[in-house]
Copies of this chain bind each other. A is one copy, B any other.
């Protein structure tokens, strides 16, 4: 027997399908939403509808976009010769935050993961190869995550791009700025030593 009205139970179910949201939290969120005034609650519903309907993928880099091109690819000041390959749109955000990159992106929408049963054909590698084969791109920077799957994906793609006249690079490994040496793990320290620079 449901003690709550079915529309409320339905909303709780919906919240509970979200990642990291358990039944209790879903209940709390649903209660919060129905306690909102009508206008704000409906604005929430519309926000979901509009985000789903208005957001699509950039034709060039597959980043999230609200028109054919994303805001980065539309920007004429960005160099189209330099492409940074990221696993997902959040990667774009991370790199943009550094304010250091003036090229464009390629969003893979995933990484190669034998355990997760994700192969090269399941992510947007073909689209990258096609872009590179156009001959305009001079450098591809691999910015996948510094874990096994990210490494595997970066290596796979770099091999795939070998036939083309393009430089393939990778984000540097090393100790994080502002960190403390004692909290840096062994693997990172090893990479930081390997990649040491002359002062």
Contacts from A to B (Cβ < 8 Å): 1-8, 10-11, 13-14, 18-21, 25, 27-34, 36, 38, 41-55, 64-66, 71-72, 88-90, 92-93, 96
Query: Which residue of chain B is the closest to A38 with respect to CB atoms?
Result: B52
> Can you add 15 more A-B contacts, CB < 8 Å, to A5-B54, A34-B64?
A5-B64, A5-B65, A7-B66, A8-B51, A11-B48, A14-B43, A18-B29, A18-B33, A19-B28, A31-B88, A41-B48, A41-B52, A45-B45, A45-B49, A45-B52
B32 adjacent to A89 (CB under 8 Å): no
CB distance from A54 to the nearest CB of B (A): 4
A29 adjacent to B19 (CB under 8 Å): yes
Taking CB atoms, residues of chain B closer than 8 Å to A38 are 52-53
Cα A33 to Cα B30 in complex, Å, equals 16
A50 adjacent to B7 (CB under 8 Å): yes
Cα A5 to Cα B19 in complex, Å, equals 22
Query: Which residue of chain B is the closest to A11 with respect to CB atoms?
Result: B51
